[in-house]
Amino acid sequence: MQTDAVTKERAWRTHEELPLNRENFEALCRFDLPCLRITGFATDSECEELVAAMDAVGLHKTYKVPGLKQPPRYVGLTQFEKRQASKDDYFAEVDQAWHEHEAVISKMPWNPFERMWKLIRELYPECTLTLAEEPGYGRYYAGIIRDTTGGGTLHADVTMYSARDYIISQVVNQITWNFFATHVDGDGGKTTIHNRPYRVETKPGDKVEIEGFNRSYVDGAETHIYAPAKGDVVMFNSHNPHEWTAVDEGQRRMGVSSYIGRMPDGNFIYWS
Ligand SMILES: [Fe+2]
């Protein structure tokens, strides 16, 4: 499996963090670029408004990450955190998560998610971009509002493995975007992206873990390290394994994130 992955691997075309446009977005989908950066997605005061809203509401949920002293805290709901539970369990929590989301967003004069969706719609006027919907279950949750100060362990976000019986497993590309609302400096808080899309040979019905897999999977892979910057969005192909370090003492790494996926018909869906 791994030999195969290695031989098929291509080097990234550049390590420059290129801006969001159609050509670069397509290249990101093809694994030709490590990431894109939207510099100045929000102003300093908009960033401060988000952080103040997060602090006022409080981030009361925690990712289940074994081995992490301070796992990310968040508001909302992620499908991957429910991957060991049933589909009913996930969809039963969607409405509540949207209420939590609304509690934060209603305290702000702007909406980072709507801003992002507008950019993608402008980029692909001939396509639709809609909240993911599961036949027979209804809408997904989309839009994690989170504090990732304590770091994140190596994983890949691949719905064909973590959401096999969900409609989101049908996406042909899975892009994650991360907006950063705080200034982080020093060595901490940086994300490493490994140029080795996560692929595992499986038999039908096999479960594949997208987190906690052996580090040797990324041995020898090309890497790109990006630094979060207040006001910027960084997008990358979430099939590439990634991880980030805890920030230096006294700093916080706050922001929002979701996935954008492309369906086989070319239209886009989003979810978390
Ligand atoms: Fe991730």
pLDDT in tens, 104-113: 999 999 999 9
How remote is the CA of residue 251 from the centroid of ligand 1, in Å? 21
Pick the CATH number of 2-271 from 3.40.50.1820, 1.20.58.1690, 2.60.120.620, 1.20.1560.10: 2.60.120.620
How remote is the CA of residue 182 from the centroid of ligand 1, in Å? 19
How remote is the CA of residue 94 from the centroid of ligand 1, in Å? 20
Mean pLDDT throughout 224-237? 98
Higher-pLDDT residue of 195, 10:
195
Burial environment of residue 193 by CB neighbours within 10 A (0 to 12, 13 to 18, 19 or more) = buried
Question: What residues contact residue 157 under an 8 Å CB cut-off, 6+ apart?
Answer: 80, 174, 176, 210, 238, 239, 259
Task: Give bridge partners of residue 144 from the DSSP assignment.
Answer: 257
How remote is the CA of residue 144 from the centroid of ligand 1, in Å? 12
How remote is the CA of residue 220 from the centroid of ligand 1, in Å? 20
* pLDDT for 34: 98
161-188: pLDDT as tens digits: 999 899 999 999 999 999 999 999 988 9
How remote is the CA of residue 54 from the centroid of ligand 1, in Å? 21
CA-wise closest residue to 194 among 245, 241, 244: 241
* pLDDT for 63: 86
* pLDDT for 7: 46
pLDDT at 1 over 50: no
* pLDDT for 200: 92
Q: How confident is the model at residue 207 (pLDDT cuts 50, 70, 90)?
A: confident
Contact 216, 166 (CB under 8 A): no
